[in-house]
Amino acid sequence: MCLRLLLLLALCSAGPAAAALTLSLRGSWRIRSGNGSLELPGKVPGCVHSALFQRRLIQDPYYRFNDLKYRWITLDNWTYSKNEIPFDISKWQQVNLVFEGIDTVANVLLNNVSVGKMDNMFRRYSFDITHVIKAVNFIELHFQSAVLYARNRSEAHTCYEVPPKCPPPVQKGECHVNFIRKEQCSFSWDWGPSFPTQGIWKDVRIEAYNICHLDYFTFSPVYDNNIQEWNLEIDSSFHVVSSKPVFGQAIVVIPELQTQRTYSIELKHGKRIVKLFVKINKNITVKTWWPHGHGNQTGYNMTVLFKLDGGLSFERSAKEYGVK
Ligand SMILES: *[C@@H]1O[C@H](CO)[C@@H](O)[C@H](O)[C@H]1NC(C)=O
Ligand SMILES: *[C@@H]1O[C@H](CO)[C@@H](O)[C@H](O)[C@H]1NC(C)=O
Ligand SMILES: *[C@@H]1O[C@H](CO)[C@@H](O)[C@H](O)[C@H]1NC(C)=O
Ligand SMILES: *[C@@H]1O[C@H](CO)[C@@H](O)[C@H](O)[C@H]1NC(C)=O
Ligand SMILES: *[C@@H]1O[C@H](CO)[C@@H](O)[C@H](O)[C@H]1NC(C)=O
Ligand SMILES: *[C@@H]1O[C@H](CO)[C@@H](O)[C@H](O)[C@H]1NC(C)=O
Ligand SMILES: *[C@@H]1O[C@H](CO)[C@@H](O)[C@H](O)[C@H]1NC(C)=O
């Protein structure tokens, strides 16, 4: 079975204050080289190489042997900063600084206070900044050269070898790429030059909420062979900031399978995972998803709605998922 989740509505209770806010930090940042000899504007999402190229401080990096000529960019430790970010601190019980993707090794400072470290390009990071955020803010990301980081990690790892140490010499690439969670071809590949970039390659935002917040959501279909029935396991992870439990309902609707279920939920303070187990209506034949050439690629639309008690009015935030 394949499910297409179209709309996920999280209705968090509101009362007079709004339930959630997102402040995007995309756009214009400042970029500074390690010793401050270079300072330039740079776009987020983006990287140091593209910012230098846009300011015409370097030529096309792909031209001739520019990969070797521009190694200094990679070996330096750059800083990204953004000034004068206003924020209304009076309204929120919880404030997070969220990075969807960082390339790759960096310390984050908010208003000169270290709030977190990152070293994995492939994951999202969320840092609690509730007690650090002010009315006007200053964010700094101190990057470390990915090449130096990988070398250092390799030197620290003495119990056994992790080959290969370096790429074939003809690639003129960087060594120890297997010691960093970064796009592996950025240290060179047989088809591509070595440009181990530094930068903020996905969205950055401040998110703030009261009472509760839906952090993430996953689901998987399971077939029960004994009773020949399809089921669906849905996991929703909430962060509940309210000290009192939050009550409400979760409503799951899959119209084409004539399945609609309502569950009572209770969310207690802290990080909570709500597990829903949905039995799919047995009087409908569920069509499975087949690879191309082997059958049809049938998908079903599903809506999951969380309606939480707590006030006279409700606020809604909608997310769209293109999950197949
Ligand atoms: C600053 O760093 C750059 C790049 O590593 C280097 O070329 C330059 O000489 C340095 N300048 C000073 C003043 O140290
Ligand atoms: C970058 O940082 C590392 C670790 O802090 C340091 O060893 C290295 O000398 C720095 N590189 C430059 C060009 O400043
Ligand atoms: C941040 O800290 C540095 C040194 O630790 C200091 O020079 C600077 O004035 C501080 N900046 C702010 C905005 O507090
Ligand atoms: C290098 O690795 C060691 C051991 O893991 C660590 O203590 C040190 O801080 C690292 N140095 C740099 C510059 O990353
Ligand atoms: C299948 O079952 C649902 C309730 O479980 C019912 O509403 C519906 O009419 C049934 N459909 C058919 C085609 O029997
Ligand atoms: C696949 O889809 C087509 C068009 O909707 C339909 O005619 C056909 O019967 C389906 N095949 C199977 C094996 O369900
Ligand atoms: C499922 O949702 C998509 C996108 O909204 C829509 O185009 C499609 O018609 C829906 N499928 C059914 C069977 O309702």
In this structure, are residues 164 and 142 in contact, taking their beta carbons and an 8 Å threshold?
A: no
C-beta of 6 in contact with ligand 7 (< 6 A): yes
* Mutational test site, ligand 2, from 148, 149, 151, 198, max ligand atoms within 8 Å of CB: 148
* Mutational test site, ligand 4, from 118, 152, 157, max ligand atoms within 8 Å of CB: 152
Q: Whose CA is nearest to atom 3 of ligand 7?
A: 301
Q: Whose CA is nearest to atom 11 of ligand 7?
A: 301
Distance CA 155, CA 179 (A): 10
Distance CA 184, CA 197 (A): 11
Q: For 25-50, what is the mean pLDDT?
A: 98
Ligand 7 atom index nearest CA of 256: 13
Q: Whose CA is nearest to atom 9 of ligand 5?
A: 258
C-beta of 140 in contact with ligand 2 (< 6 A): no
**What integer pLDDT is reported at residue 7 of this predicted model?**
42
Bigger pLDDT: 1 or 129? 129
Fill in the DSSP letter of residue 171: G
C-beta of 256 in contact with ligand 7 (< 6 A): yes
In this structure, are residues 204 and 100 in contact, taking their beta carbons and an 8 Å threshold?
A: yes
C-beta of 290 in contact with ligand 6 (< 6 A): no
Tokens of 134: 């002010």
In this structure, are residues 108 and 118 in contact, taking their beta carbons and an 8 Å threshold?
A: yes
How far does CA 96 lie from the centroid of its chain? Answer: 13
Q: Which residues line ligand 1 (CB under 6 A)?
A: 33, 35, 37, 72, 76
Ligand 2 atom index nearest CA of 35: 14
For the stretch 278-296, pLDDT in tens is: 999 888 889 988 999 999 9
**What integer pLDDT is reported at residue 253 of this predicted model?**
93
- SS3 state of residue 146: helix
Closest listed residue to residue 71, CA positions, set 63, 61, 79: 61
| Model pTM score | 0.85
Q: Whose CA is nearest to atom 5 of ligand 5?
A: 281
Closest listed residue to residue 94, CA positions, set 57, 66, 132: 132
In order of their start, the domains of the chain are 9-18+211-321 (2.60.40.10), 22-206 (2.60.120.260)
Distance CA 202, CA 215 (A): 18
How far does CA 313 lie from the centroid of its chain? Answer: 30
Distance between Cα 298 and ligand 6 center (Å): 9
**What integer pLDDT is reported at residue 25 of this predicted model?**
98
For the stretch 19-36, pLDDT in tens is: 789 999 999 999 999 999
The number of the ligand nearest the C-alpha atom of 282 reads: 5
In this structure, are residues 77 and 145 in contact, taking their beta carbons and an 8 Å threshold?
A: yes
For the stretch 58-102, pLDDT in tens is: 999 999 999 999 999 999 999 999 999 999 998 899 999 999 999
* Mutational test site, ligand 1, from 31, 32, 33, 37, max ligand atoms within 8 Å of CB: 37
